[in-house]
Structure 1
Amino acid sequence: MFLNSLDTIVAIATPAGVGGIGIVRLSGTDLRKFTLSILGQEIQPRVATYKEFLGAEGECLDTGIALYFSAPSSFSGQDILELQGHGGSVVQDRLIQRCIELGARMARPGEFSERAFLNGKLDLVEAEAVSDLIEAASVQAAKSAIRSMSGDFSKEIKNLVNSLKNVRVFLEASIDFPEDDIEFLDEPILLNTLDDILIRLDDIINKARHGVLLRDGLTIVLAGRPNAGKSSLLNCLVGSDEAIVTPEAGTTRDVLRKSVVINDIPLQLIDTAGLRETSGIVEKEGIRRAWSEIEAADHVLFIADAADITEPSIETVWPDFFIKFPESSTLLTLVLNKIDLTDFAPGEMIGRKSTFCISVKNRTGIDTLVKYLLKQAGQLDRGYGGFSARGRHVAALKTALVSVTAGKKQMIDSGSTELVAEDLRQAQNSLSEITGSITSDELLGEIFSSFCIGK
């Protein structure tokens, strides 16, 4: 899966285009050839040195600051050379070409971070946090990424792994040496220990979910019948005409996604096709996709025309929708639009569901709805001291929770130490996948390929 980590790699570490500074970065096991050829001499590690950057004939390609970091005291754990010259594609491309002439190859996306992971400079969570910090869409997301980069998330995972190891030591010793005079954990102590691990797992799962929301944003799907005002509401929340709005029913036939950050909270807004019976092939596909988005959403806003409400029961708006809606796992809010054409007042409640009465046309009730959406995003707690996380982290934590729960049940039902030990081993492996101490090349390739080139 991985290319030779002994190769010298090179990449531009600054954004493409014209700028005041452009950085070319190299990483390899021995960069003396590059420093001698490009700088004309070796330079002292960790000392910024102003130099000419030389071409093959000794001509000056650029001037700037050269920084050299010797292994293992560098980001990647290898020798690193940074050439901090002037921004601009021509200047940087000439430097890149010179490095390739000297034997370097272009780095793949994320290969510098990949080498840092492979050389033990970062675990997988910390490496992912580097990418999360670069891509942070809000201040809170950036703060959480910094905490993960600093090892806060990894520390909690490693503490859980150590707790599982300690229990497994006693269980497996009792299996391997049943006749020896070894002091083993009795069942009440073991169950209490497993309960403690389950509590900690549940807590870290909640933190990780929070971290995913901070990174990816709360997914809010706008659903409902055609011409209820879904696309108009999306445009209103985003602040621009992103979705086509016409009086003709069924204008929206595909999924439209827009990211917006409101009060430093990221939201992923998804406009969907109007839900109705139709014979049109294209519209049918749009409706199928709409239901897929509804089933995967964190929060669904069911948009209805206020004029369609004839009695105080949400189910009367469209009974078939509420029969099919995955209510157990998805938050649903009823939004009645076009109240400027009815006698409804903003904030009027219908049934047991959270209900908001709005008019996209004159913005009545919009501010109240936005405040509610931010609250449902957990406000992603302003004082939240958590970490950035990804969906794979939550999935692995849930798998570990299931395994520990199964182990506890085995202990209560059968007292089989072999089965309990196996469940705890599986839980430990699931947690180890998060930090990368146990993982596959395929997963590593998938993770690092999503990074930017030069990081």
Structure 2
Amino acid sequence: MFDPTLFQQDTICATATAPGVGGIAVIRVSGSQAFAIVAALFVPFGQHTLGELPVRQAIYGRLQCDGELIDEVVVVKYRAPHSYTGEDTVEISCHGSLYIQQRVLQACLSAGCRMATPGEFTRRAYLNGKMDLSQAEAVADLIASESAAQHRLALSQLRGGYSAEFNTLRDRLIQFVSLIELELDFSEEDVEFADRSSLLQLADDISARLTVLMDSFRLGNALKKGIPVAIVGATNVGKSTLLNRLLGEDKAIVSSIHGTTRDVIEDTINIDGVLFRFIDTAGIRMTEDEIENMGIERSYRKLEEATVVLWLADLSGEASPAIDPALVERMRTPIQDKRVILIANKSDEVSEKRIKAFRISLPPELSALPFHAISARFGHGIEELKQAVSIAAHLSDRHEGDIVVSNARHYQLMQDAAEVLDRVRSGLRDGLSGDLLSLDLRHAITLIGEITGSEITSDIILHNIFAHFCIGK
């Protein structure tokens, strides 16, 4: 259970670099006693003590405990408020041996530190005004980024433009409620400070901006988790072979037996700096096999989540038409509003004439789709397919300065605020009294404020947000 007393302003320490063995490890010490604690352990190679040494300058020396040498280290000290946490901070760079890291931490603990809890350094940075809550959450996203797009998204949020957007919305709502409540103070004098039509226009503008931001969540969430790409088609057309070829490993079982894939298999790859999550689905067909049918149902559910759909067909088959009309009918609804690429597999087994005949045989609703002939087995056409997937994601529609929402907590708060503002707009149209409008407006202000932490006071809420951080951050 969370204990808020853990977050008093005592001095904390933790390894700030990734767990494991490396050339160098960094131990961070932060708090009011950071300088004194490290000074008791560190002996610089020179005439000065740690307290006399300049800030933000690397100093070489020995770290020892009870007279025993632990390691020769480099120490940098940062004086409050000019540090990551906003407190006095010392960073100790030692050799990356796990044993040495543990000895350094034990020495700091014996000198008066306690171990930092997950996210406590960043939590202190937030509490000390070094960053707001949305920026603190961006730190976690930045650490977890696996692609250039994720990195850009997190970095944009960390720089503060994201926060400025929500602070502006909140300030406009505060102006709104101030005018309403000023009228309430002079209600007996029948004075109107706020023109209702102007207030309604302001509420409409704020609601419209919230809608734009909420609409960006689908893209932001996809960039954060990987843009979902579903590989679909009949059984035995090469879906699992294609997944393995895209991933560069044997992730899915490949067999000539129909219905081999009975569950959803997925993994991610990076294409042009963007993470894509490829999903191999069970082959869609009519079957009496109960387990296979469960896999097919899961395929449909994954198809709903997908941004891009790769519809795979077999060029080598003798059937005419090449794609079963019953399958086309079953897929009609699931692929509505999806970006579909039609792929003809096993091009290595057929002639160009067969490929042309295949395209001619396509029903009208499929003939207009982007088309690629590939050999998943030998890799022919795979690089061109990757580029087609990247283009189908339509990421080029994004502009560098666009605000993109990728945090599910922020999205939920915006949804709640939009619902409250809808009530305010209805109330303005219906002539609702100012005191009732004021209650809803204050609620909307609180909801938007919680995105950047302007209205958060509960230690429990803060703990839940920072709990997923790594120990050293």
Q: TM-score range by the shorter chain?
A: 0.7 to 0.9
Larger Rg: 2
1:398 and 2:398 aligned:
no
Measured in 1, the distance between the counterparts of 2:417 and 2:403 equals: 19
Any idea what the Cα deviations from partners look like across 1:157-190, whole Å, max 9, x if unmatched?
0000011111111223334542236442222211
Distance change >3 Å, CA 64–CA 377, structure 1 → 2: same
Counterpart contact for 2:64–2:71, Cα < 8 Å: no
1:229 and 2:238 aligned:
yes
Counterpart contact for 2:307–2:339, Cα < 8 Å: no
SS of 2:189 mapped into structure 1: coil
Residue 23 of structure 1: CA displacement? 0.6
Distance change >3 Å, CA 151–CA 182, structure 1 → 2: farther
Measured in 2, the distance between the counterparts of 1:387 and 1:214 equals: 13
Aligned to 1:58: 67
Alignment of 1:282-301 (within 5 A): 282-301=291-310
Distance change >3 Å, CA 381–CA 320, structure 1 → 2: closer
Aligned to 1:138: 147
Aligned to 1:6: 9
Measured in 1, the distance between the counterparts of 2:21 and 2:323 equals: 59
Aligned to 1:335: 342
Any idea what the Cα deviations from partners look like across 1:119-154, whole Å, max 9, x if unmatched?
222111111111222222233432332222121100
Aligned to 1:20: 23
Counterpart contact for 1:408–1:420, Cα < 8 Å: no
Aligned to 1:117: 126
Any idea what the Cα deviations from partners look like across 1:373-411, whole Å, max 9, x if unmatched?
212322255752245632322332233233323322332
Alignment of 1:232-381 (within 5 A): 232-276=241-285, 282-305=291-314, 316-323=326-333, 325=334, 327=336, 331-333=338-340, 335-338=342-345, 340=347, 342=354, 343-345=357-359, 350-351=364-365, 354-359=369-374, 360-361=376-377, 363=379, 366-380=382-396
Distance change >3 Å, CA 46–CA 378, structure 1 → 2: farther
| Match among 449, 455, 460 for residue 432 of structure 1 | 449
Identity %: 34
Counterpart contact for 2:35–2:89, Cα < 8 Å: no
One-letter identity of the residue aligned with 1:333: V
The unaligned stretches of length 5 or more in structure 2 are 44-48
One-letter identity of the residue aligned with 2:388: Y
Any idea what the Cα deviations from partners look like across 1:200-235, whole Å, max 9, x if unmatched?
223333455544343333122223433232222222
1:34 and 2:37 aligned:
yes
| Match among 130, 147, 155 for residue 156 of structure 2 | 147
Measured in 1, the distance between the counterparts of 2:192 and 2:428 equals: 18
Measured in 2, the distance between the counterparts of 1:231 and 1:346 equals: 26
Measured in 2, the distance between the counterparts of 1:415 and 1:262 equals: 53
Distance change >3 Å, CA 283–CA 106, structure 1 → 2: farther
Distance change >3 Å, CA 297–CA 422, structure 1 → 2: farther
Measured in 1, the distance between the counterparts of 2:309 and 2:462 equals: 34
Measured in 2, the distance between the counterparts of 1:438 and 1:255 equals: 42
| Match among 426, 442, 465 for residue 409 of structure 1 | 426
Aligned to 2:46: none
Distance change >3 Å, CA 288–CA 47, structure 1 → 2: same
SS of 1:20 mapped into structure 2: strand
Distance change >3 Å, CA 221–CA 245, structure 1 → 2: same
Measured in 2, the distance between the counterparts of 1:442 and 1:302 equals: 47
1:168 and 2:169 aligned:
no
Aligned to 1:78: 87
1:444 and 2:462 aligned:
yes
Residue 95 of structure 1: CA displacement? 0.4
Alignment of 1:85-104 (within 5 A): 85-104=94-113
Residue 451 of structure 1: CA displacement? 2.1
Residue 70 of structure 1: CA displacement? 2.7
Measured in 1, the distance between the counterparts of 2:281 and 2:189 equals: 66
Q: TM-score, normalised by structure 1?
A: 0.86
Q: Higher mean Cα deviation, 257-266 or 190-199? A: 190-199
Distance change >3 Å, CA 381–CA 29, structure 1 → 2: farther
Q: Higher mean Cα deviation, 60-69 or 102-111? A: 102-111
SS of 2:365 mapped into structure 1: coil
Measured in 1, the distance between the counterparts of 2:270 and 2:363 equals: 28
Distance change >3 Å, CA 172–CA 45, structure 1 → 2: farther
Distance change >3 Å, CA 139–CA 336, structure 1 → 2: closer
Measured in 1, the distance between the counterparts of 2:411 and 2:264 equals: 26
Distance change >3 Å, CA 436–CA 426, structure 1 → 2: same
Measured in 2, the distance between the counterparts of 1:13 and 1:428 equals: 36
Distance change >3 Å, CA 197–CA 374, structure 1 → 2: same
Distance change >3 Å, CA 370–CA 148, structure 1 → 2: same
Counterpart contact for 2:231–2:278, Cα < 8 Å: yes
Measured in 2, the distance between the counterparts of 1:350 and 1:308 equals: 20
| Paired residues, number | 452
Q: TM-score, normalised by structure 2?
A: 0.83
One-letter identity of the residue aligned with 1:391: A
Counterpart contact for 2:247–2:269, Cα < 8 Å: yes
One-letter identity of the residue aligned with 1:150: R
The unaligned stretches of length 5 or more in structure 1 are none
Residue 12 of structure 1: CA displacement? 1.1
Measured in 2, the distance between the counterparts of 1:305 and 1:406 equals: 54
Residue 362 of structure 1: CA displacement? 5.3
One-letter identity of the residue aligned with 2:106: Q
Measured in 1, the distance between the counterparts of 2:261 and 2:33 equals: 57
SS of 2:74 mapped into structure 1: strand
Distance change >3 Å, CA 371–CA 204, structure 1 → 2: same
Aligned to 1:46: 55
Distance change >3 Å, CA 289–CA 442, structure 1 → 2: farther
One-letter identity of the residue aligned with 2:365: G
SS of 1:14 mapped into structure 2: coil
Distance change >3 Å, CA 204–CA 314, structure 1 → 2: farther
SS of 1:67 mapped into structure 2: strand
Measured in 2, the distance between the counterparts of 1:281 and 1:190 equals: 59
Counterpart contact for 1:315–1:322, Cα < 8 Å: no
Q: Higher mean Cα deviation, 361-370 or 265-274? A: 361-370
SS of 2:414 mapped into structure 1: helix
